[in-house]
């Protein structure tokens, strides 16, 4: 069995960097190095103590540490394994097949370090997990095996304890932001998220993730994640949002996808493509299509997903596909495809409006002739009015009421969304918002 476990982990290492589903934890091999990295990043240290031949240890390494949700959560920790056994029998300095990335000599020494400096004893029960703050303070520990759910709860508890301890080292203003995030109403939480992401300190951003991750109410977590869905927050928010793509709660995963769609974080392309292959929920699938339109529509694989969606039987999926083509309207074949689809939609109002909305999102005046040709023989007055108003806006000579005409008509495209788009709030207030006319959506 141990040979099987080692083989599995080696295979996981070979596929590292593709998706969270094929990665193993990033193991470190020295307690001092782990604490130094923790201080640099603001992440707590997770010490994982194991022993060769122990069934419970083997089971956790095989079933728990390789789970995508656990791997995603472990990104919030500096992970230090210890074991008194050699797993590579060639030499202790050779790569360890049980803990990829370190040598057997590393975890042998880490075992001694933890016993002397953390536990103060030579007697250890395994599997055992200990969480330390970046300052080396023991925050939490658990002896014996944990299944996936229990392990995730243990990790989240550690994040909460670390966040609480870390607040003492922040300035009063930033600490106030975190206080509003934890204790404020929905509006205050949203504002706090934006303010914290605006702080030029990656430790504060890491602490933001830890604080949100440890929230007890899914609704509070959801609100905080959705507060990241803005273009101006793309760089600091994007890496955090990726880590929620493997959350156990579907609603949290979906919130992260929509926020990635709205902030347009390019590195989300590969994770979203991978998620799209396994997603079964219809709402999540159509939101992934729309997100692909903002994070990497030029990619051939993303483009194929979007174009397939434009021909789906489901109105909802077709609408998502049409909206996602906004970033592809520089391509003649895509423009020709949408012209044909506009005809085939016949009396389907919302799908036709979605095609027009794609032209608005793209925002290019060069598309005006295409828009006019496409709608020249349209019998529906609302569609004609929208096309005329949109043509004027794209041409820079809009009339009073044109923006209102578009907002009123295009709002119907989003009423069935389970997750409300952020730009709709600006639409409702009548304020100009670049996300309502820019490349996003």
| Interval 372-396: pLDDT, tens | 999 999 999 999 999 999 999 999 9
Stretch 48-65: mean pLDDT, rounded?
92
Q: What residue has token string 């476990």?
A: 5
Please say if the pLDDT value at position 225 is more than 60: yes
Give the N- to C-terminal CA distance of the chain in Å, as an integer. Answer: 49
pTM of the complete model = 0.80
Of the listed ranges 12-21, 238-247, 398-407, the one predicted with least confidence = 12-21
Mean pLDDT of the chain: 88
Stretch 16-28: mean pLDDT, rounded?
59
Of the listed ranges 11-20, 268-277, 286-295, the one predicted with least confidence = 11-20
Sheet holding 138-143, edge to edge: 78-82, 45-49, 128-132, 138-143
Stretch 328-351: mean pLDDT, rounded?
94
d(CA 215, CA 220): 7
Q: Which of 355, 348, 350, 361 is nearest to 373 (CA)?
A: 355
Please say if the pLDDT value at position 441 is more than 70: no
What pLDDT shows up at residue 91?
Answer: 67
Per-residue confidence band for 18, with pLDDT thresholds at 50, 70 and 90: very low
Tokens encoding 74: 């472990």
Please say if the pLDDT value at position 50 is more than 50: yes
What pLDDT shows up at residue 425?
Answer: 81
Please say if the pLDDT value at position 1 is more than 90: no
Q: Name the more confident of 173 and 261.
A: 261
Give pLDDT tens digits for 188-211. Answer: 999 999 999 998 888 889 999 999
Per-residue confidence band for 363, with pLDDT thresholds at 50, 70 and 90: very high
What pLDDT shows up at residue 166?
Answer: 80
Stretch 422-440: mean pLDDT, rounded?
55
What pLDDT shows up at residue 282?
Answer: 95
DSSP-assigned beta bridge partners for residue 46: 79, 131
Of the listed ranges 10-24, 106-120, 180-194, the one predicted with least confidence = 10-24
What pLDDT shows up at residue 239?
Answer: 95
Q: What domains can you pick out in the chain, each with its CATH number?
A: 2-156 (3.40.30.10), 228-437 (1.25.10.10)
């Amino acid at each position: 069995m141990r040979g099987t476990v080692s083989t599995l982990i080696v295979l996981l290492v070979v596929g590292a960097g593709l998706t969270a589903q094929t990665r193993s934890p990033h193991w470190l091999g020295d307690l001092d190095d782990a604490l130094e990295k923790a201080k640099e990043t603001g992440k707590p240290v997770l010490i994982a103590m194991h022993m060769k031949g122990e069934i419970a240890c083997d089971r956790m390494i095989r079933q728990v540490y390789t789970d995508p949700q656990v791997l995603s959560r472990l990104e919030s920790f500096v992970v230090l394994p210890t074991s008194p056994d050699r797993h590579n029998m060639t030499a202790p300095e050779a790569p360890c097949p049980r803990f990829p990335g370190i040598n057997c000599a590393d975890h042998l020494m880490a075992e001694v370090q933890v016993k002397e400096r953390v536990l103060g004893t030579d007697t250890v029960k395994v599997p055992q997990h200990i969480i330390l703050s970046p300052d080396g303070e023991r925050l939490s520990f658990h002896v014996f095996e944990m299944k996936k759910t229990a392990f995730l709860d243990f990790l989240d508890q550690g994040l909460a304890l670390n966040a609480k301890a870390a607040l003492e080292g922040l300035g009063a203003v930033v600490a106030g932001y975190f206080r509003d995030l934890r204790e404020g109403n929905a509006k205050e939480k949203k504002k706090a998220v934006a303010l914290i992401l605006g702080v030029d300190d990656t430790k504060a951003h890491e602490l933001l993730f830890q604080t949100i991750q440890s929230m007890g109410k899914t609704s509070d977590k959801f609100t905080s994640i959705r507060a990241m869905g803005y273009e101006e927050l793309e760089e600091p928010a994007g890496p955090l949002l990726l880590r929620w793509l493997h959350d156990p709660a579907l609603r949290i995963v979906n919130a992260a996808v929509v926020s990635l769609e709205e902030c347009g974080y390019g590195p989300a392309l590969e994770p979203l493509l991978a998620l799209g292959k396994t997603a079964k929920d219809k709402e999540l699938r159509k939101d992934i299509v729309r997100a692909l339109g903002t994070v990497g529509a030029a990619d051939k694989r993303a483009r194929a997903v979007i174009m397939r969606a434009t021909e789906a039987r489901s109105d909802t999926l077709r609408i998502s596909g049409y909206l996602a083509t906004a970033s592809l309207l520089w391509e003649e074949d895509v423009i020709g495809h949408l012209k044909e689809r506009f005809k085939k939609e016949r009396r389907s109002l919302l799908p036709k409006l979605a095609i027009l909305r794609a032209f608005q999102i793209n925002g290019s005046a060069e598309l005006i002739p295409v828009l006019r040709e496409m709608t020249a023989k349209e019998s529906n007055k609302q569609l004609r009015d929208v096309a005329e108003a949109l043509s004027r806006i794209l041409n820079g000579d809009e009339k009073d009421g044109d923006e209102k005409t578009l907002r009123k008509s295009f709002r119907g495209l989003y009423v069935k969304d389970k997750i409300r788009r952020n730009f709709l709030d600006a639409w409702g207030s009548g304020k100009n918002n670049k996300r309502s006319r820019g490349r996003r959506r």
